[in-house]
Amino acid sequence: MPGDVVLRRRRGRVERLRRALTVPALFSTGYGNVGSSIYYALGVTALYALGAAPLALVVAGAFFVFTVLTYAEATVAVPEAGGASSFARHGLGEFVSFFAGWATMLSYTVTISISAFAVSGYMSVFFPELASYPANVVFTLGVIGLLAALNCVGVREATTVSVAFAVLDLTTQVLLVTVGVVTLLNVPLLISQVHFGTVPTWSNFAYSISIAMVAYTGIETISNMVEEARNPAQTVPRSYGLLVVAVLVLFMGISVVALSAMPVQCEHPEAMISADPIQCADDAYTTDLGTKYVADPVAGIARALPEPLNRIFEPIVAVLASTILLIAANAGIMGVSRLTFSMGGYFQLPSFLSRIHRRFRTPYVSVLVFCLVAALIVLPGNLGDIADVYIFAAMLTFTLAHVSVIAMRIRVPDLDRPFRLGLGIMIRGSEIPVTAIIGGLGTFTVWLIIVVTRPFGRWAGLAWMLLGIGSYLWYRRRSGLPINRTVRRGTRTASAAPSTSAGGRSIRSR
């Protein structure tokens, strides 16, 4: 038809993933990625929130729930891998789809960085020199290099192994919280160490909420496995529901136990001589959770347990946390590689990024490129800076997911939605979910906090997005494709808005 873009390529067999994953498998894999975040997010959150860290996690958890609901509706309505990029394609068009996908790629890449960096903190239980710079950075670069090499030669962990470690991790966290509640929990102490306005200051508490959002990243895991899910209309929402309950309960339990074991104290009394009472309190009070154990907060809980429990739990937590974090880092590599293929299939990325190694049959180019970026992010050796980039990417991705769900409600109101968000409001004849509105405003606000207040996160994130936009525009122009036209490799025609025309030109798949 006039205006269609015709693709000609050799016919080949279409590979489809076997739908075999049930609720336990989806939940376990999802928790393995989201649950690993607490191993590095809790310490950075406590650094700014001090005794109010549990409350910061609760506020961030509310936006986590809204985001999960958005992903649940969109994933079962559009059951294809790609997450926010796929949602945006159906709701906002091809360019925004690329924009969301490029932000998601940064999120996956920083997952590699922050997970590998956190391993050094937990391994310092056995090798104390890994707790300081530059040994921790050198170790992290070695971990990233090893994972890159393994993925290039095709050594990947089996799904069953990942699920088994996720279940073991969940069990250990439940046991640690239970023992901590019995032996360490001190409710009066938890209440007495919070004085909003001074300890913590309002500005620090607001920033701590954005940091706490790091604890809830990784929810795209289930969405990206939808093509392998059995009966996704039922299994995906149920898996997300279990994930919400497990994450919120355990993260809250871990945080209150941690602050009972490592309470807020006046570590720098000399700072109290400041004429500004708010500033002096901010400078004087701290907690070991956000300083000594900022890189390995859960290890601090294990060490604080009474004898002989501490000697039992400390090495177990160190080994298990390191293993889960390595799996999370490897999942980041696999995720960004899979997303590269997905975006390349829509002419959003040059095909060379999806190039397969002739011998090992692995996407070695994408593995090496994004592991190199992950290594560069680690070089400053500051966990807070890495977390800022992570928040920049994740919050931008989540915001676009919320907006895409709203847009799909307007543009394709008759789309089959086996799981549909309730509590909607009617706007110009379309029912818009309130949870998506609140969730989108919340994640966008957190993103703005990072852009305005955190230089490293701002410039690293913006540089990444500008690089992506420039590359996309160049590649589309080079391929002779309009910016906002959806074109899929291996198909005969490409969909586009009626007003867009390519003049019926023939384009060979590159």
Query: What ranges do the domains of the chain cover?
Result: 6-508
In this predicted structure, what is the pLDDT of residue 7?
Answer: 42
Q: Can you say whether residue 191 is alpha, beta or left, with left for phi > 0 and alpha for psi between -120 and 50 degrees?
A: alpha
Place of tokens 């009070």: 285
For residue 482, say if its preceding peptide bond is cis, omega within 30 degrees of 0.
no
Give the model confidence (pLDDT) of 229-257 as tens digits. Answer: 778 888 888 888 988 998 899 999 999 99
Q: What is the pTM of this model?
A: 0.85
Question: CB-based contacts of 156: which residues, under 8 Å, 6+ apart?
Answer: 150, 330, 334
Q: Rounded to 5 degrees, what are φ and ψ at 495?
A: -80, 150
Tell how far CA 496 is from the center of its chain: 31
User: pLDDT tens for residues 444-488?
Assistant: 999 999 999 999 999 999 999 999 999 999 999 998 888 888 888
- Tell me the CATH architecture of domain 6-508: Up-down Bundle (1.20)
- Does residue 503 carry a pLDDT above 80? no
CA dist 36 → 101, 115, 443 (Å): 23, 8, 21
**302-360 pLDDT per residue, tens:** 999 998 999 999 999 999 899 889 888 988 888 888 888 888 888 888 888 877 778 87
* Range in 72-81, 223-232, 326-335 with the lowest mean pLDDT: 223-232
